[in-house]
Amino acid sequence: MNNLFSALTLAPVLRGFIAMLISGAAFPLCGVMVLRLNLIPMRYMLMHGVILGGAISLALSLPLMPVTVAVNLILVFVLLALSKDDTQGFGVGSAAAMAVSMALASLIIHKAGVTANNTLNLLWGSPFALKTSDLMLLGAISILLAVYVIVNMRTILAIFYNREVAQSLGIHVRFHYVVMVILIALVIAVAMKYSVRF
Amino acid sequence: MIFSFSLPAGGNLLIIGGNGAGKTTLLRFLSGNLLPEGGKILIGGKTLNELEPRTVCYVPQQQDSVMFPLSVEEVVGLGIPKSEKQHAKIIAAALKRMGCENLSGRSFSTLSGGEKQKVSIARCIAQNAKVLLLDEPTSALDESSRQAVTQILKSLSVKEIPTIITVTHDMVFAKELGWQSLVIGDAA
């Protein structure tokens, strides 16, 4: 126990510990959304979107986090725009986007001479390598997620119960669906960097 | 599909037809889940967009899932406005009306098919719906549950829910209700 407390006096460890606490408290909310909205294929697509973001980031020497967030948001908006019926969780669209993301990432890695291992190292990043700005971004997304869920709890419950029932209750199901999908995209983009490997 | 029918206020209707005839599709139009390519759907002279929220209560075939299920009270309370202060009392009264006070505190997903139908109708009573739309309420129900659902629907007064529209391919259920029927496609 003493070792733990002494480790927490080190700034990187403390930042990692705080990141774990914040993400552990908030991110499971997105897990519930993924399961209840049948978005597991989309979750995998977003994880591959982060790989593409990592490759672009390394190839162009851009900061990782904004690029991965942007790539994931673009993927989500493309799927939303192309899908006529989103009740099945973009299964086929997600699979296609996942394959395209990996293909593009492979091309970029090959053409730009980026070491594939470096891309993956960026993705399976350590929470102990977090900067204060990273922690602030993590906190901001967590707060956004928690506030959205708390303010719209009854609406979300109705949508999770049955989308058609929610629609007949006058709830703007499509709007909330889009908001939840965007939140999932943001959370996966940051979680891949912060919370995967310890 | 081109469709036209009218129902007098306080009237109930059975929509009968075989699989794939378009019964559920019609119900989804009436509930606002699908938008017609042309024409109008009027309830009490108002389009669906002009109606007060929660006027129409839709009970689909598939409800809830095993993962993160809602409680019976949460399901019944879905249609009650957030501003309503008598929330718990309304839920209790609706459950009592359906004779399922004993289900309080249970998870919705653990209920039997017949119990789920009762709780769903309690939800519609709690939200003070004027039109109840039921999609195959007796599918996957055993004989006694089917009879219980039939009795509940027959016992609902015009004051509680003025209009009930039920989709079914269960001819025994349709005969027991004895309401006027609309046949789509080949009902045999």
> SS3 string of chain B?
CCCCCCCCCCCCEEEEECCCCCHHHHHHHHCCCCCCCCCCCEECCEECCCCCCCCEEEECCCCCCCCCCCEHHHHHHHHCCCCCCCHHHHHHHHHHHCCCHHHCCCEHHHCCHHHHHHHHHHHHHHCCCCEEEEECCCCCCCHHHHHHHHHHHHHCCCCCCCEEEEEECCHHHHHHHCCEEEEECCCC
Which chain A residues are Cβ-neighbours of B82 within 8 angstroms?
154
- Would the pLDDT of A38 be above 50? yes
Q: Which residue has the higher pLDDT, A60 or B63?
A: A60
Q: What letter does residue A130 receive in the DSSP assignment?
A: -
- Would the pLDDT of A195 be above 60? no
Q: Which residue has the higher pLDDT, A134 or B16?
A: B16
As a whole-number percent, the residues of chain A with pLDDT over 90 amount to 32
State chain A's mean pLDDT as an integer: 86
Q: What is the pLDDT of residue A197?
A: 46
Are the Cβ atoms of A165 and B70 closer than 8 angstroms?
no
Q: What is the mean pLDDT of residues A25-46?
A: 89
Q: What is the pLDDT of residue A123?
A: 65
- ipTM, two decimals, is 0.81
Best of B24, B26, B33, B63 to disrupt the A interface (most A CBs within 10 Å) is B33
B58 vs A35, A154, A168: nearest CB: A168
- Would the pLDDT of A86 be above 80? no
A157 vs B31, B65, B78: nearest CB: B78
- Would the pLDDT of B188 be above 60? no
Q: The whole model's pTM is what?
A: 0.82
